[in-house]
Amino acid sequence: MKTIMITGTSAGIGRATALHFANKGWNVIATMRCPEKETELTKVQNVWVTHLDVENKESIQTVIEQGISKFGEIDVVVNNAGYGAFGIFEAATEEQIQRQFDVNVFGLMRVTKAILPHFRKNRKGVIINVTSEGGRVTYPLFSLYHASKYAVNGFTESLLYELSPFNIRVKIVEPGPTKTEFTGRSRDAIQDTRLTDYSEFEQKINLMYQSLFDPEQIASPELVAGVIYKAAIDPSRQLRYHIGSDLMIEREELNDNEFIGKMAQRFGIDIE
């Protein structure tokens, strides 16, 4: 039996991925900040639910050591934990800016760095970084989130080169809009009531978000979990696995001015 370690399994894509791999017969190390609150995954026989905070280096190392002791080795790591800061950049506090990167970028790097000695020793392993369509396409009011996901994309692509000699495969899974708690508990609202110059713009964009996305085109966490599984067992050097809207096609086909113009038009923004 192979073993996978997944961060951020308390909900959404992480939870769906843990269940998907468990159903495929894998051992699953399902990590989250508050495992004492978990009631579903703890009932699955081959799933070990445990505490891990990507902002805490010691908790990461402890889980990896215990996971290896429990299952013999770890074959795949999925860096899924993350959230989105939403709002006007000028209103963001230093703490909000720092935490967005500490979780989405530095936390992912901590987990990756901690598992590499094990993978190098075994001369095999797979690292799957769940980024986002938002790592190559941007939306209004998500500047911090997009910055973090663009950073992960660059980090992962470069890492591919240096880990290839050790037979360690590196993958990026890029979900588009997904039915998760991203707009709920996984979102950090950036607000500053003193910045009234932005009020009209914010209200307009918030209204657009409520009507912009077609529910029929929003992927389920289970669909994303299936793609993560495909990436995990894919022996090729394919880097990116995209799920979601046609925006990525537009991003690749249009030049910057054309694409940004179309996005601005979607949100009713005059950028002339």
> In whole angstroms, what is the distance from residue 116 CA to residue 149 CA?
21
Active-site option among 145, 198, 209, 229: 145
Sign of torsion over alpha carbons 51, 55, 57, 61? positive
To 5 degrees, how large is the angle CA 224–CA 229–CA 232? 130
- Is 161 designated active site? no
Give which of 12, 46, 6 is closest to 30, Cα–Cα.
6
Give which of 10, 20, 120, 27 is closest to 70, Cα–Cα.
27
Q: Rounded to the nearest 10 degrees, how much is the dihedral formed by the CA atoms of 109, 145, 260, 268?
A: 170
C-beta separation of 147 from 97 below 8 A: no
Residue 146's Cβ-side half-sphere holds a number of Cα atoms within 13 Å equal to 14
Neighbours of 215 (CB within 10 A): 7
Task: Sheet with 125-130: list strands edge to edge.
Answer: 47-51, 27-32, 3-6, 76-79, 125-130, 168-175, 240-243
Residue type, 52: L
Sign of torsion over alpha carbons 114, 118, 123, 124? negative
* Cβ-Cβ contacts under 8 Å for 236 (sequence gap 6 or more): none
The catalytic site residues sit at 145
